[in-house]
Amino acid sequence: MKEQTSFLVTTMNKSIDYFEHYDKHLIIFDFDETLCHNPSAKVYIRNNRTDQTIEMSPTEYSSWRSTDEYEKNKSDWEMNFEEFQNYPKNGKPITSTVEKLKHYASRDHYVVALVTGRDNLIGPKKWMSDFYIPINKITMHCSGSPDKRNCFRSLINTFEPMHVTIYEDSVEYIEQCQEICAFFEIPFSGVLVKDGVIKINWRKNDTKS
């Protein structure tokens, strides 16, 4: 696969309008810890062999799944996603990314999408409406698993963009999107959101767990 990642550090940090020179640009946002900060919500992982339960944030969970520990013996594990099934009651907007989403949604040459690992969109849609995020201008997908590749593939097949940018709190999901973009030979930019801070040069600042 040919890698086509753009590290647009200086220019993107200076201007929210950097990507306006692209026609038909697909912008993808994650939900939990990318648009919505909800530190009290955890995934609970129980190891049936040791009878121990571990709590993880969404970012920690996606990193753990990327180790393939679960796939080695699925019967060893029980996972509780109850706190991510419904409306994020304690969720607060991450201003830096919410404002970018609103900006992109207000311009016709951007296609804005939400791709979440949740198994339904009811909670995110209601939360976004409550914070005046224009959901009628956003295409929404939920993967229901830590593998978002089919969602990314579907968006590219549907909209045939000239460029794809993803805003994510997980390097694993950025790399999944990059993989699909490389397959379609579409230029790609990954934007890591960490503790509410946007990091364009995510490969330099973060290593894969």
Q: Output the pLDDT for position 20.
A: 56
CB 62 within 8 A of CB 172: yes
In terms of CATH architecture, what is 9-37+90-205?
3-Layer(aba) Sandwich (3.40)
Using CA atoms, how far apart are residues 17 and 19, in angstroms rounded to an integer? 6
Exposed / middle / buried, residue 176 (Cβ in 10 Å: 0-12, 13-18, 19+):
buried
Using CA atoms, how far apart are residues 121 and 142, in angstroms rounded to an integer? 7
Q: Where in the chain is the domain with CATH 3.40.50.1000?
A: 9-37+90-205
Using CA atoms, how far apart are residues 101 and 130, in angstroms rounded to an integer? 15
Identify the sign of the CA torsion 130, 133, 138, 142. negative
Residues whose CB falls within 8 Å of the CB of residue 200, separated by 6 or more in sequence, listed in order: 7, 8, 9, 12, 13, 189, 191, 192
Q: What is the pTM of this model?
A: 0.78
**pLDDT, tens digit only, all 209 positions of the chain:** 444 434 343 334 444 455 555 578 999 999 999 999 988 778 888 999 899 998 888 778 777 877 878 878 888 888 887 777 789 988 999 999 999 999 999 998 899 999 998 889 999 999 999 999 999 999 999 998 889 999 999 999 999 999 999 999 988 899 999 999 999 999 999 999 988 788 776 654 333 33
CB 2 within 8 A of CB 182: yes
Instruction: Give Cα 60 to chain centroid, integer Å.
Output: 13
CB 191 within 8 A of CB 50: no
Exposed / middle / buried, residue 189 (Cβ in 10 Å: 0-12, 13-18, 19+):
buried
Is residue 123 helix, strand or coil? helix
The identity of residue 117, as a single letter, is G
CA distances from residue 9 to 93, 167, 190, 200, 201 in whole angstroms, order as listed: 23, 14, 11, 5, 6
